[in-house]
């Protein structure tokens, strides 16, 4: 870090490493709220890495899984599997062959991606700079693209489960007749309400996870600003003030990181449980 | 904050993860867990059965020991009775033998008595003749007085 000012520090850390797919070059400034020409390379690299890590861990356990006495690693993986399976079984009464592995994927992937937030703020950046990247945001779940990609996939699954349980006609009928009634005059209000209900699910899923992780990242950045205060105090000869600021930064960063462990796990759990709840709701008849 | 092509990439990654987890990871893990659950349940049931078998065997052993005790008492009883019988039998045999011995001894004694009596008689006759010879200071014809002397000898013997 060649010493950016504190006012540059936070916007710098909120920039993604973007590639312009159309121009075929690195994009230096984000243009537009929606721009499908650009892709966040940092988000993709980190999330795919975490996904591969998840698959590798569980595949290693699955390949060697026996009914005999499990080793520590297999026991740990099985505890996670049984935990997820039990949560799904509490909510969803039916065949869990698809829903339970879906829940496991969400739970583990989200937690692994969230855990990256606990890496020291500037350390991944050092590696990225060494590799020649201008920006590198390490937490994929603090990118709204990741959370919306997941929640929209969940929306597609909700629709698929609805159609599978009720048929196209049954689901369509339900969209226009529930919850107010069958009278033709009520079709429009019914449909409108159902659309709001349906769309609120992916939006709330995505915004909850994104908001938590983005805010968590931002708080780490704000705490890191105390380092600037410390540096400026030391620069003006204020040893006591500099030491106090440094100590404050260390203590606050530690406290926030410990509290953040809870958020990391909780957000993964919430995303999983809500997905299961939404899909089991989709199978119910009104 | 920008919605861009990352959305599509992440959705594809998510679908691949779900598929892999659904098809490759979940089935072996859950089947292993289920198989182990069954194994443990079977093991517990077997342990219960073993416990019950042990109790059965214990009570069976107790019954066998009790039966053996009864049989042993019976055997001892029989042996005692047999011993008594043998003692009684031996007693009978012994007393019969004793009587036989006594009878034999009695016969012998009678024979001896008869023989001694004959000898005595001859001796007494001789003594009487000698005595008479001395008393009469003369020769007595032994053959002439034999009848007399025999009578005398008989009287002596009877008197004894």
Contact list, A81 vs chain B (CB under 8 Å): 26, 29-30, 33
Angle between the N-to-C axes of helices A239-283 and A72-91, in degrees from 0 to 180, rounded to the nearest 10: 50
Residue A157 lies in a domain: yes
Active-site option among A114, A162, A190, A212:
A212
- Within 8 A of A149 by CB-CB distance, chain B residues are 6-11, 13-14
Q: Choose the closest CB to B2 out of A30, A152, A153.
A: A30
CA-based nearest residue in chain B for residue A68: B36
**Quick check: pTM over 0.90?**
no
Order of strands across the sheet that contains A25-27: A25-27, A18-20, A38-40
- Contact residues of B toward A, CB < 8 A: 1-11, 13-18, 20-22, 24-26, 28-33, 35-36, 38-39
Q: Cβ of B6 and A143 within 8 Å?
A: yes
Measured between CA atoms, how close is B65 to chain A, in angstroms?
43
Residue A16: its chain B contacts at CB < 8 A? 2
| A244 in any annotated domain | yes
Contacts of B22 in chain A (CB under 8 A): 97-98, 101-102, 105
Main-chain phi, psi angles of A40, to 5 degrees = -85, 100
Ranges of chain B with pLDDT below 50: none
A194 included as an active-site residue: no
286 residues of chain A, pLDDT tens digit each: 345 677 788 888 888 888 888 888 888 776 778 888 899 999 999 999 999 999 999 999 999 888 888 889 999 999 999 999 999 999 998 888 999 999 999 999 999 999 999 988 888 888 888 888 888 889 999 999 999 999 999 999 999 999 999 899 889 888 888 788 888 888 889 999 999 999 999 999 999 999 999 999 999 999 988 888 888 888 887 888 888 888 988 999 999 999 999 999 999 999 999 999 999 998 887 6
Cα A271 to chain centroid distance, Å, stands at 9
- b/e map A176-187, b = 16+ CB within 10 Å: bbbeeeeeeebe
Q: Give the structural domain span for A262.
A: 6-282
Is A208 known to be catalytic? Answer: yes
Task: Identify the closest residue of chain B to A206 by CA–CA distance.
Answer: B7
Q: Distance from B50 to chain A by nearest Cα, in Å?
A: 22
Nearest to B28 among A43, A65, A140 (CB): A65
User: In a mutagenesis test of the A interface, which of B9, B12, B20, B21 is the best target, namely the one with the most A β-carbons within 10 Å?
Assistant: B21
> What is the largest distance, in Å, between two alpha-carbon atoms of chain B?
193
**Does any domain span residue A164?**
yes
**Upper half-sphere CA count for residue A116 (Cβ side, 13 Å):** 27
What pLDDT score was predicted for residue A1?
39
Which of A208, A232, A246, A280 is flagged as catalytic? A208
Judge whether A161 lies within some domain. Answer: yes
Determine whether the interchain pair A105/B16 forms a contact, defined as Cβ–Cβ distance below 8 Å: no
> How many CB pairs below 8 A link A and B?
136
**Residue A1 forms part of a structural domain:** no
- Report yes or no on A94 lying in a domain: yes
Instruction: Concatenate the DSSP letters of all residues of B58-100 into one string.
Output: HHHHHHHHHHHHHHHHHHHHHHHHHHHHHHHHHHHHHHHHHHH
Our CA-based measurement puts residue B54 at a distance from the nearest CA of chain A, in whole angstroms, of 27
Distance CA A201, CA A161 (A): 15
Contact indicator for B4, A34 with CB cutoff of 8 Å? yes
What's the ipTM? 0.90
Q: Is A59 on the interface with B (CB under 8 A)?
A: yes
Would residue A190 show up in a list of annotated catalytic residues for this protein? no
State the pLDDT at residue A2. 43
Question: Of A75, A272, A188, A263, nearest to B21 (Cα)?
Answer: A272
Instruction: Count structural domains, chain A.
Output: 1
In chain A, which residue ranges form alpha helices assigned H by DSSP?
A: 6-13, 41-63, 72-91, 99-115, 123-130, 144-177, 187-235, 239-283
Residues of chain A numbered 15-44 and touching chain B (CB < 8 Å): 16, 18, 21, 30, 32-40, 43-44
Q: Is A203 contained in some domain?
A: yes
Nearest to B6 by CA among A46, A223, A204, A14: A46
Residue A244: which residues within 8 A CB-CB, separation 6 or more?
A: none
């Amino acid at each position: 870090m060649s010493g950016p000012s504190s006012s540059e520090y936070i916007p710098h850390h909120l920039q993604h490493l973007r590639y312009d797919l159309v121009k075929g070059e690195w994009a230096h400034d984000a243009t537009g709220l929606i721009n499908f020409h650009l892709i966040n390379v940092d988000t993709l690299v980190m999330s795919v890495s975490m996904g591969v890590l998840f698959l590798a861990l569980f595949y290693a356990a699955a390949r060697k899984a026996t009914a005999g006495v499990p080793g520590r690693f297999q026991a740990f993986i099985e505890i996670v599997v049984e935990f997820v399976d039990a949560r799904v079984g509490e909510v969803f009464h039916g065949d869990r062959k698809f829903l339970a592995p879906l829940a496991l994927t969400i739970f583990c992937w989200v937690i692994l991606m969230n855990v990256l937030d606990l890496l020291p703020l500037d350390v991944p950046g050092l590696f990225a700079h060494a590799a020649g990247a201008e920006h590198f945001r390490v937490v994929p779940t603090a990118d709204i693209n990741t959370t919306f990609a997941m929640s929209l996939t969940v929306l597609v699954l909700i629709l698929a489960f609805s159609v599978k349980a009720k048929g196209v006609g049954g689901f369509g009928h339900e969209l226009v007749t529930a919850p107010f009634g069958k009278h033709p005059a009520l079709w429009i209000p019914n449909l409108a309400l159902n659309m709001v209900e349906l769309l609120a699910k992916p939006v709330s899923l995505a915004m909850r996870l994104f908001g938590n992780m983005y805010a968590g990242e931002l708080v780490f950045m704000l705490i890191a600003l105390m380092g600037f205060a410390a540096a400026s105090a030391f620069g003006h000869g204020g040893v006591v003030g500099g030491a106090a600021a440094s100590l404050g930064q260390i203590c606050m960063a530690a406290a926030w990181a410990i509290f953040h462990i809870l958020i990391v796990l909780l957000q993964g759990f919430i995303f999983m449980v809500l997905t299961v709840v939404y899909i089991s709701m989709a199978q119910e008849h009104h | 904050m920008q919605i861009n092509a990352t959305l599509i990439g992440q959705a594809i990654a998510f679908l691949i993860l779900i598929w892999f987890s659904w098809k490759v990871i979940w089935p072996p893990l859950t089947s292993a867990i289920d198989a182990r659950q069954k194994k443990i349940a079977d093991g517990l049931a077997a342990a219960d059965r073993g416990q019950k078998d042990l109790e059965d065997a214990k009570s069976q052993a107790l019954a066998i020991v009790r039966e053996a005790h009864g049989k042993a008492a019976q055997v001892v009883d029989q042996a005692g009775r047999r011993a008594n019988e043998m003692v009684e039998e031996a007693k009978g045999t012994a007393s019969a033998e004793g009587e036989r011995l006594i009878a034999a001894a009695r016969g012998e004694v009678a024979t001896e008595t008869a023989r001694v009596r004959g000898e005595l008689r001859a001796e007494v006759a001789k003594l009487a003749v000698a005595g008479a010879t001395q008393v009469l200071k003369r020769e007595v014809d032994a053959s002439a007085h034999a009848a007399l002397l025999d009578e005398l000898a008989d009287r002596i013997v009877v008197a004894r």
